[in-house]
Amino acid sequence: MFILKPRKSVPLSLTLLVPIVAIALTLMMGGVIFGFLGYNPIEALYEFFVAPLSRPDQIGNLLVKACPLIIIGTGLVFCYRANVWNIGAEGQLVLGAMGAGWLALSFPDAQSPLFILAMAAAAMVAGGLWGAIPALLKIRFRTNEILVSLMLTYVAALLLDWIVRGPWRDPMSFGFPLTKTYPDAGLIPALILPGIGRLGQLHWGVVFAFLIAACGWFYLSKMLSGYQIKLMGDAPRAGRFAGFSQPRNTIAVLVISGALAGLAGMIEVSANIGQLQPNVSFGYGFTAIIVAFLARLNPLAVIVAGLVVALAELGGDTAQISMGIPKVVTGIFKGILLFMLLAGETLTRYELVRVKAHHTQDQQGRS
């Protein structure tokens, strides 16, 4: 029989190779799925991963699609490195959008260039407080943060739906569940590149997404508090001996993760929508989980992982239009990719060792 034995050391080559193999296997299995569905696998994979990059404006749209994934994925890295499992980033994104929307709708005549920063702060506070709920319940009542954060996602979605259909609905929306549009000071401006102009829907939020990922890497890699997060995740007993607090660490990472998810919600609405509506996200909070694991919990690698996943999302839209491939196939891609990454992560940390059956029985007898 075979058992999983922890590796004494993980080679760098194995760490770099696993994500590449996971993506390659995902592409192979995707090709098989396309073949079973009656589509040309080569043509389908081309539409998914090459066609979206064939025009400059599409590259801008790819960056916009990756923007919330990078921000949320960076926040989730904080949680997962601390062995705290935040699955509710989608709800925290919604609360962040609502917090920023409340400020924008409360000051319809705002003109200050600093108003957008105030909206970002409101979004981070709202998302951080929503993320603090599962943290406090975990510390006080030992609840499972996976279930609590996930259930709060549906609470947030229903709360947003009620608000845009009720107290915040624009009287001039002709019955549609929409709020009033934000003032110009509450909209994120387009990013104009010198000599090129604007690429698709490219906006300044993309630049901040890259900066957030870089700051997250610096914090986790170079700061003592970042080391504390990793230590409490890998060896909580050693962390307690060092004087670190597990409850404080749990609250910190969930608040940081929630705040970044809330910021992503604010950027998504202020840059692309300009008002609140029942659906302000396309599942970014859930998709970012794949991004965090694809990046191997490295904030800098989150940028690359976010672009890869965004490419699959954008390619799904392209393939749906050009070949009539169902949108659900994109979800299948992401599911296969996550499965491959989790399997690769297990084989990176553990090695498969064959043991004799009587040896295993002797060990069980001694225990």
Residue 30 has a pLDDT of 86
Q: Is residue 156 part of a domain?
A: yes
Domains held by the chain: number = 1
- The verdict on residue 85 lying in a domain is yes
In a domain, 41, yes or no: no
Q: Is 77 in contact with 294 (CB distance < 8 Å)?
A: no
pLDDT digits (tens, 9 = 90+) for 30-76: 889 889 988 899 998 888 888 888 888 889 999 999 999 999 999 99
Kindly indicate the confidence band of residue 170, based on its pLDDT and cuts at 50, 70 and 90.
Answer: very high
Length of the chain: 367
The rounded distance, in Å, linking the Cα atoms of 260 and 131 is 10
pLDDT higher than threshold 80 for residue 144: yes
Residue 190 has phi, psi (to 5 degrees) of -70, 155
**Rg of the chain on CA atoms, in Å:** 22
**Please, where are the H alpha helices in the chain?**
12-36, 41-49, 56-81, 89-106, 115-141, 145-165, 205-222, 224-234, 236-241, 246-272, 284-294, 299-323, 328-349, 357-366
Q: Which of 34-38, 169-173, 315-319, 343-347 has the lowest mean pLDDT?
A: 343-347
Q: Tens digit of pLDDT for each residue in 86-102?
A: 999 999 999 999 999 99
Tell me the CA distances in angstroms from 172 to 56, 180, 181, one per residue in order. 37, 8, 11
Q: Which residue has the higher pLDDT, 318 or 356?
A: 318
Residue 52 pLDDT: 85
123 pLDDT more than 90: yes
Q: Which residues contact 307 (CB under 8 A, 6 or more apart)?
A: 62, 63, 66
- At 298, phi and psi to the nearest 5? -115, 115
Predicted TM-score (pTM) of this structure? 0.90
Helix (H, G, I), strand (E, B) or coil at 313: helix
In a domain, 71, yes or no: yes
pLDDT digit string, tens, across residues 126-136: 999 999 999 99
Q: Looking at per-residue confidence, does 147 or 356 come out higher?
A: 147
Task: Calculate what percentage of the chain has a pLDDT beyond 90.
Answer: 61
> Is residue 360 one of the residues assigned to a domain?
no
pLDDT band at 245 (very low <50, low <70, confident <90, very high): very high
Q: Helix, strand or coil for residue 352?
A: strand
Spatial CA neighbour of 313 closest among 328, 297, 301, 298: 328
Q: CA end-to-end span of the chain, whole Å?
A: 19
| Main-chain phi, psi angles of 353, to 5 degrees | -120, 135
Cβ(199)–Cβ(59) below 8 Å: yes
Q: What residues make up the domain containing 181?
A: 62-295
With H, G, I as helix, E, B as strand and everything else as coil, classify residue 186. helix
d(CA 294, CA 267) in angstroms, rounded, equals 23
Averaged over 299-307, what is the pLDDT?
A: 95
- What's the rounded Cα separation, in Å, for the pair 66 and 142? 35
30, part of any domain = no
Neighbours of 85 (CB within 10 A): 18
The one-character DSSP state at 181 is: P
Query: CA–CA separation, 22 vs 336, rounded Å?
Result: 9
Within a domain: 198: yes
Distance CA 156, CA 363 (A): 50
Quick one: which of 90, 163, 98 has its CA closest to 125? 98
Cα separation, 70 vs 63, in Å, equals 10
343 CA to centre of own chain = 20
SS3 185: helix
182 is a domain residue: yes
Quick count: other Cβ atoms within 10 Å of Cβ 338? 17
